[in-house]
Amino acid sequence: MTSITFTLVISAIVFAVGTVGVLLRRNPLVQFMSIELMLNAVNLAFISFSGRFGTSEGQVFVLLVLTVAAAEAVVGLAIIVAMFRHRRRIDVDDIHAMQG
């Protein structure tokens, strides 16, 4: 098994695990961490293909994904903190509307 095949398999498994985490957990913080897992799995696939083709486009894409992930983490965590300030307990099943 070549290294790109192996890293692609790892990427697929980590992505699926992240999806299960989003669906299974009820705590928005852990769901957020699972989304980060999925982003990282995609980054690994990008790097694998970039190495396969020998060009750096995939790596540039990974840098852009990193930026978007940072922005997403900041805004998402701010929303979670605002939610917690509002109702002291965080569970995604309790949240029905954007305006609480």
Binding site for other proteins (CB under 8 A): 3-10, 12-21, 23-27, 29-30, 32-34, 36-37, 40, 43-44, 47-57, 59-60, 62-64, 66-75, 77-82, 84, 90
Pick the closer one to other proteins by CB: 78 or 95. 78
- 32 with 77: CB under 8 angstroms? yes
Cα 27 from Cα 91, distance rounded (Å): 5
Q: How far is the CB of 76 from other proteins (least distance, A)?
A: 10
Q: Where are the alpha helices (DSSP H) in the chain?
A: 3-24, 28-53, 57-87
Dihedral pair phi/psi, residue 24, rounded to 5°: -85, -40
Instruction: State residue 36 phi and psi, 5-degree precision.
Output: -60, -40
Q: Which is nearer to other proteins, 24 or 95 (CB)?
A: 24
Shortest spacing between CB 95 and other proteins, in angstroms: 14
- 6 vs 95, which CB is nearer to other proteins? 6
How far is Cα 6 from Cα 17, in angstroms, rounded to an integer? Answer: 17
* CB nearer to other proteins: pick between 77 and 95: 77
Least Cβ distance, residue 97 to other proteins (angstroms): 16
